[in-house]
Amino acid sequence: MTDKRSGNYFLAARGIFRDANYLTTKEAADVLNVCPNTISDYVKNGLLRGVKKTYGRGPKTHIWLVKREDLERFHPPHVFNRHVPQLNNDVRRAIAWTISAEGTITINPKHQKNPHGYALALPVVVVSNTEKDFILRFWEMVGKVGRVTKAYKHKTGLRPCWQWFLHSTRGCLCLLEQIYDFLPIKKKQAELVMKFCRLRLNHKSKPYTDEEIDLIKEIRTLQHRGKQTFDWSIYNQVDRREKNDHN
């Protein structure tokens, strides 16, 4: 009996016949222990070679196939390690100067709310460059902590931009504490983010305090974000369920 979940059945049902050396995104995802959408992102961002097979009549009806040999040699660059290793002073200095020249240290407020009923604000350290190899080397320098992704192009005609970013509260705090003394610039931003991270680690799963909101406002002023307006009250709203529990 044919297993309808297998890649061969999926392709045969759509009139696509492939070599045994090629895997579907579902099969490749099982090998790397990730979701199929992650494999598609690897292929679209040029990190993993893939073959696009079209089926049906619609122009968007297609499937990606990955060569088994390429998958065996592939090392996922989107690995996210929460623990920043202890770095020596030479590496700390190199990371600090790279972030000062090509990066950003900030807090990104988000309008969407989490399950606890209040909005999120994430500490972020970002390094951007048009050279993919540069970003991958930096990612290896920091101990493969954070994520590497291809940034969205806002204007046509520009070269693709690659980004390394870290948005873990504990990870940002650990990294900034190690490189702070070596930062030639952006020390004020680093101080605000570190203070925000320490406060957030003591208030997990709780609405943001007035002190935390003031830190977000101050760092946004340093970043010159313009006249964007935010409803700051959404960051310290308590979930209705919590209010009912207190009543």
User: Whole-prediction pTM value?
Assistant: 0.62
Instruction: Please report, for the chain, the start and end positions of each structural domain, with discontinuous segments joined by +.
Output: 10-73, 89-239
20-40 exposure pattern, b = at least 16 Cβ within 10 A, e = fewer: eebbbbebbbeeeebeeebbb
Question: 206 and 238 in contact (C-beta within 8 Å)?
Answer: no
Please give the CATH architecture assigned to the domain spanning 89-239. Roll (3.10)
| pLDDT tens, position by position, 126-169 | 999 999 899 999 998 998 888 888 876 556 677 788 899 898 88
What pLDDT does 127 receive?
95
**Cα distance between residue 98 and residue 102, in whole Å:** 6
CA-based radius of gyration for the chain: 22
CATH of 10-73, one of 3.30.70, 1.10.1660, 1.10.3470, 1.10.10: 1.10.1660
| pLDDT tens, position by position, 178-206 | 999 999 999 999 999 999 999 988 887 77
